[in-house]
């Protein structure tokens, strides 16, 4: 049994550095936290223990929910959009799946009247470009890995902000924890689910 180091002083601590020699395209469960630059509150505020999403927050939520449409090897588990960060569990599963031609790109409603280049220069549209990483690979040259998924999500939200002249930025890096035990998965799901209620104790507050 491996020691569970997901908590530190009763708070979840996710190492900012990637695990050395670990292949982040490996099938499995990954707990990720993605923060705004300087932890600015772009996505809304907590009121009475509930997250009240701003326009940017709604876009972040929409883009996150649509990740599997653009990365077919990804499934989503518990996630929450907080005022200045996002917690989510990403499941990477490269099992063969039926392919689809997804006609509706991510954040379609939010990017009306914006002349953005669609991946592979197929055409110019009034919608945001695909979330897929442009070169099809993530950090370290790995294809279809966790970094490429997070990068694509970040790009989707950032393009909305630029199109609407919102002075928005992400922290350059993201935090991850490879979930290896069922007990850890259950605790992290609960942590995410109750994050808004526990906002006053949150390390990102």
Give me the CATH number covering residue 191: 3.30.70.1290
Domains in the chain: how many in total?
1
Q: Is residue 4 part of a domain?
A: no
Structural domain includes residue 2: no
Residue 15 belongs to what domain range?
10-199
Residue 1 within a domain: no
CA distances for 140 relative to 17, 38, 64, 92, 146, angstroms: 13, 26, 23, 17, 11
Q: pLDDT, tens digit, for every residue of 157-205?
A: 999 999 999 999 999 999 999 999 999 999 999 999 999 999 988 777 7
2 versus 74: the higher-pLDDT residue is 74
Look at residue 177 and tell me if it is in a domain: yes
Give this prediction's pTM: 0.71
pLDDT of residue 200: 87
Contact indicator for 24, 148 with CB cutoff of 8 Å? no
Examine residue 204 and state whether it is found in any structural domain, yes or no. no
Q: Residue 115 corresponds to which tokens in the numbers above?
A: 């002349």
- Out of 75-84, 127-136, 159-168, which region has the weakest mean confidence (pLDDT)? 127-136
Residue 96 has a pLDDT of 76
What is the rounded distance in angstroms from the CA atom of residue 149 to the CA atom of residue 92? 10
Greater model confidence, 119 or 175:
175
Tokens of 107: 């954040």
């Amino acid at each position: 049994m491996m020691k569970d180091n997901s908590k530190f002083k009763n708070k979840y601590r996710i190492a900012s550095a990637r695990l050395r020699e670990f292949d982040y395209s490996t099938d499995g469960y990954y707990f990720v936290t993605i923060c705004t630059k300087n932890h600015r509150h772009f996505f809304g505020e907590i009121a009475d223990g509930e997250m009240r999403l701003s326009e940017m927050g709604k876009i972040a939520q929409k883009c996150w929910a649509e990740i599997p449409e653009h990365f077919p090897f990804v499934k989503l588990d518990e996630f929450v959009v907080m005022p200045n960060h996002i917690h989510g569990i990403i499941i990477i599963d490269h099992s063969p799946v039926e392919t689809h031609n997804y006609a509706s790109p991510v954040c379609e409603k939010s990017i009306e009247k914006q002349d953005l280049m669609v991946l592979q220069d197929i055409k110019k549209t009034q919608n945001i470009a695909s979330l897929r990483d442009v070169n099809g690979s993530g950090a370290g040259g790995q294809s279809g890995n966790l970094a490429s998924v997070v990068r694509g999500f970040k790009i989707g939200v950032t393009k909305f902000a630029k199109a609407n002249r919102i002075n928005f930025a992400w922290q350059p890096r993201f935090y991850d924890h490879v979930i290896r035990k069922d007990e850890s998965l259950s605790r992290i799901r609960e942590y995410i689910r109750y994050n808004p209620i526990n906002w006053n104790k949150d390390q990102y507050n």
